[in-house]
Chain A
């Protein structure tokens, strides 16, 4: 036993030694390997007549796909058109917002201001700079899969709620969406607890009288919400809950947004129970003010940057259909919608981006 032990220890030390030597060697080798890579941007820099070092642009990734796609599109254009390096940093919306204020994050391409109650304060105080609208034709609300209302002969699913159109119609179907944790009650899956919209949905539920027969229950995280919907859809089961567009989920699955009264400013408050559909919210692009001041070219480009929910969904659908990475989808988008973005950039940047695509 002891001899075997000793052998084991020896072997362990031998391994550690090998690893140590290997690390030391790579450390020596590393600078050599990096040099050729570093040469290219330096060689280009004088030609652009911009001898000073450009800051790296850091995009915030608050965790959903449309934002990732916009990050990749803007990143590609800034990288190839303007010579900026870019990086993406993940985090929750409040953390990213905090990062934009501090300068750890440079840009957030989609600021869903309705979801962050404190945001207007930040904007007023000038700790962040709002550059403009990315898109404003988005939708949100309660969704059900289309097969719940119309059935799906191909999958052998019968319509289980043919008369479900308006949110209020849900009153007739609590048994269709049962809550396993609370027998006798229905379940409306709500958004993550931190989103302001989650509270709005609760108020809406109370207003429509749905809270008597439904638990309107938070889903913890956006990922959990997506998994819940996706599992129900794959199984062909009824599901009702909060979702929003544009997402890959709304691109991939055939969902129906339940109707509500048209948006009305007078109805959109807590006393009135938010008794109308969501106002398409302005999804804006925000930037760290200090960075914006120092880099007018970036500011100008991002101020011009404007897409739409429908266009974003096309990009996301391309990604899902072709099993493409975000970067591939971004390049495809840039190729496909040249007319859209060529007005956002200088003609010089336009040429460079087009050259980089080939």
Chain B
């Protein structure tokens, strides 16, 4: 009685597989152009980042840390970046940053409008929420393999997979932010008879900004968490070094590359968080 009857059988995965095969063979032009678009963006981003001399990058991070948080934080971030450089992971770090940044930008461009729409249309929210749950909990290798089928090996499927994982927080928190703008504030604004766009841009979004920024911060952190996973499909960068280290059971190398990821994540986290705090100041 405890066994599920075997005569009932459902092979849902087969349909998905057929679907992916159909996409790869019959619609490769579409995916090739998506790939070329993302790749062009990535390569542009990479050439800009690697064009800036290393001390200028450290200088910018120092000034940002100092302005946003204080001299001590600024110095601390400088020290962390110098450590990454001394460990020999500077170039890998830049590669990782360009992949993470590209994924974050795509996530924000898609996520914020979706969040606003979900906040305004309940029905849309009902559809979006389970999709977001699936994006966050589906084991990433399940969609990594189709991503390779569609986009080939390397950075593009990495960006794709990272975006899938990093998109949900910004959508969720944007929806939450817009929904929790106080009723009084909206009523006050409505008495001036604004167009919907004005109400959104001048009242709702500024009010919602601190929470949205928390979403941006979370999205960035999620993207950082995917660094090692995306190296499993051939994306270079810090994650690739971790992967090599894991497979060789090279504890030293694993630690060096791992701690570089941690430092990078801390810097990005603190900086985006304090940008969010600046917005909170206006309240």
Contacts and interface: CB of A to CB of B under 8 A. Distances in A.
Interface stretch (A11-19, A166-174, A187-195): A187-195
Interface string A183-216: 0000001001111000000000000000000000
Interface string B125-157: 000000000000000010011001110111110
A217 B234 contact: yes
A230 interface: yes
Interface string B233-275: 1110000100110111100000000000000000000000000
A224 B152 contact: no
Given A194-B247, A231-B149, A223 B154 contact: no
B39 interface: yes
B244 A227 contact: no
B216 to A, nearest CB: 27
Contacts of A262: none
B244 A228 contact: no
Contact of A227 (B39, B149, B240, B247): B149
B35 interface: yes
A133 interface: no
Nearest to B3: A33
A195 B243 CA distance: 11
B231 interface: yes
B153 A189 contact: yes
Contacts of A219: 153, 233-234
Nearest to A218: B234
Contact of A220 (B25, B43, B233, B248): B233
A180 B149 contact: no
A194 B243 CA distance: 8
Range for the number of chain B residues in contact with chain A: 20 to 34
Interface centre among A33, A92, A193, A235 (most CB of B within 10 A): A193
Contacts of B233: 219-221, 224
A29 B24 CA distance: 49
Interface residues of A, number: 27
Contacts of B152: 180, 228, 231
A235 B35 CA distance: 16
B148 A228 contact: yes
A180 B35 contact: yes
B153 A193 contact: no
Contacts of B234: 217-220, 224
Contact of B247 (A98, A193, A223, A234): A193
A219 B232 CA distance: 7
Contacts of A235: 24-25, 28
Interface of A: 26, 29, 33, 92-94, 98, 180-181, 189, 192-195, 217-221, 223-224, 227-228, 230-231, 234-235
Given A219-B234, A220-B232, 8 more contacts: A193-B240, A220-B233, A221-B233, A223-B141, A223-B145, A224-B234, A227-B145, A231-B149
9 contacts: A94-B248, A193-B247, A194-B243, A220-B153, A221-B232, A223-B141, A224-B148, A228-B148, A234-B21
